[in-house]
Amino acid sequence: MKAGKFILSIAAFTGCFLLLCSPAPCLQQPVAPDQPVARTDRNSLIAHAELQEKARQGRIDVYFEGDSITRRWGATEYPSLLENWNKNFFGWNAANFGWGADTIQNILWRLQDGELDGVHPKVIVLLAGTNDIGYRLPPEGDGARVSHITKGMEAVLKVMRAKAPDATIILMGIFPRNDNRAIFSTIKKINLNLEKMADGKKIRYLNINDRLADDDGTLYEGMTDPDKLHLALKGYQVWADALKPVFHELLGPPAKEDHAPPPTGNPAARSR
């Protein structure tokens, strides 16, 4: 064999070896559900920095955490939802720390990376998990997914209790979604596990699904956007109506002034 062909053969073999043996994402061991996973896209990192700054501003008594369903309620680019937020929560010093498309592990990373440090809220409202469920059932069944989400939520609660030991956590049951109604049974299984995490004192479980949907998970008219996932104004008001009696119990009536930091939004929306 000529030298050139030999080198080419070695290169081809090395390339095949690297292709077969390099750690591709699909071949890596999945990250444990109780381990944080960072969002690395630029927009999410900018949003994270803004939420860290919001946390440093203080005067937050009610701390909302979650994914896009939570985020949109207090976001600047959803003015009608922000108006509803202010109408319901003004005077309770409520601040929104949700971020779109986050999984439980992404939320865990944000909490561990400063978004709850030094805040000392009196109440935390946590809604998470729908992005981990997705809209398709795995062919092998949902057992592993239910377990994964349950362990992830336990980890989030553990971090919240460590960073805000005096807060009462309102743990929301995952809302129904109708982009695939077959996953409603998975949601119910997870919610049963979430309910068991509550002690009725420092962690309270709140499930409003019977006010959003019927017994088989079919959403009532007007509760969500056309995507059948994100809440519409009517759905957010249902959520607010369930939260406000708890806020009254824990915090008393809302004050005439509000000292929470200004609302934030999607950095990408500002550049359009």
Give the domain ranges of the chain.
Answer: 39-263
Residue-level pLDDT at 272: 66
Q: With beta carbons less than 8 A apart as the criterion, state whether 185 and 135 touch.
A: no
Residue 27 pLDDT class (50, 70, 90 cuts): very low
Closest CA to 213 of 189, 243, 187: 187
pLDDT tens-place string over residues 78-136? 999 999 999 999 999 999 999 999 999 999 999 999 999 999 999 999 999 999 999 89
User: Which residues have CB under 8 Å from 199's CB, separation 6+?
Assistant: none
Q: Residue 21 — pLDDT band, cuts 50, 70, 90?
A: very low
pLDDT digits (tens, 9 = 90+) for 6-16: 333 333 333 33
Residues 6 or more apart whose CB falls under 8 angstroms from that of 161 comprise: 169, 202, 203
Domain 39-263, CATH number (from 2.102.10.10, 3.40.50.1110, 3.40.1410.10, 3.40.1350.10):
3.40.50.1110
Q: Sign of torsion, CA 73 74 78 82? A: positive
CA 234, CA 81: separation in Å to the nearest integer?
10
Specify the pTM: 0.90
C-alpha 257/C-alpha 254 separation (Å) is: 8
Distance CA 82, CA 119 (A): 22
SS3 (DSSP) at 170: strand
| Structure tokens that stand for 232 in this block | 């519409």
pLDDT classification of 28: cutoffs 50, 70, 90: low
